[in-house]
Amino acid sequence: MSCPCCTPPPSEYRRFFNRRVAGLEERRYRKRGLPATARGLARLAGDVTGATVLDVGGGIGTLSLELLERGAARATTVELSGGYEDAAAELLAEHELADRVERRIGDFVEQAGLVEPHDIVVLHRVVCCYPDADALVARAAEHTRARLLLTYPRERALTRLGIRALNVWLRLTGCGFRTYVHPVAGIVAAAERAGLRLERRAPQGALWENAAFVRAG
Ligand SMILES: C[S@@+](CC[C@H](N)C(=O)[O-])C[C@H]1O[C@@H](n2cnc3c(N)ncnc32)[C@H](O)[C@@H]1O
């Protein structure tokens, strides 16, 4: 749990997730496609034909792009950093998908009231970038009509060490952005309180875990 005053301002997200990072992500995607964790989430999405997708913290938007190519109808991305927009626009134009994607800049927790529910909500490596996991997962779950898909760091000594080292480096470089290993039990509880049922947890190598929740009943 954390309070609004613990959340770094958007400028710190933009400072870290900047145009250079977006360019690296774009090049990586062009060369190798989605990372294994995102491919796993796409599989957990199942049949997406005609579905609407909400990609929270979607970066350059490659996961929603792939889901659109697999038959999803529309996608909305809500992203705290404005640094991804040029790369995202380039990819969307190339794939001729710009008219099926809405990109919003802002903190999804704060903007949630302005975003309509979607069939599928995805957060690929986002929970680890936000201090208040409870609020982020709760808002995401409330916006899910059918399926909520998450990738977050596994609760292991190795991930805690990596995150701590990254945070030390961020502090030394004067960046206010921080990363977190949030308790999985808290993530599950936040989704369940919003009426979702945990369908599957799937470890992805040593560092990450994918999880799928479905709307109960
Ligand atoms: C590690 S990046 C992952 C980007 C993308 N999901 C991917 O896998 O390529 C995490 C992203 O989440 C965004 N983010 C974190 N908390 C957010 C929030 N509350 N609302 C919107 N975006 C958020 C950050 O700005 C950052 O771009």
As a whole number of angstroms, the distance between CA 179 and CA 128 comes to: 5
Mutate to test the pocket of ligand 1, among 80, 136, 143, 187 (most ligand atoms within 8 A of CB): 80
Centre of ligand 1 from the C-alpha of residue 12, in Å: 12
Instruction: List pLDDT tens digits, range 165-213.
Output: 999 999 999 999 999 999 999 999 999 999 999 999 999 999 999 999 9
**pLDDT bucket at 5, cuts 50 / 70 / 90:** low
Provide the 10 A C-beta neighbour count for residue 110.
15
Q: Is any atom of ligand 1 closer than 6 Å to the C-beta of 7? A: no
Ligand 1 centroid – CA 157 distance (Å): 23
Banded model confidence at residue 100, pLDDT cuts 50, 70, 90: very high
Burial class (CB in 10 A: 0-12, 13-18, 19+), 18: middle
Decide: 56 in ligand 1 pocket, CB within 6 A: yes
Interval 37-59: pLDDT, tens: 999 999 999 999 999 999 999 99
CA separation for the pair 116, 215 (Å, rounded):
16
Q: Is 45 in the pocket of ligand 1 (CB under 6 A)?
A: no
**In Å, how far from its chain's centre is CA 58?**
5
**Stretch among 4-8, 123-127, 193-197 having the lowest mean pLDDT:** 4-8
57 vs 71: CA distance, rounded Å? 21
- Tell me, in angstroms, the distance from the centre of ligand 1 to residue 217's CA: 30
Distance CA 140, CA 123 (A): 8
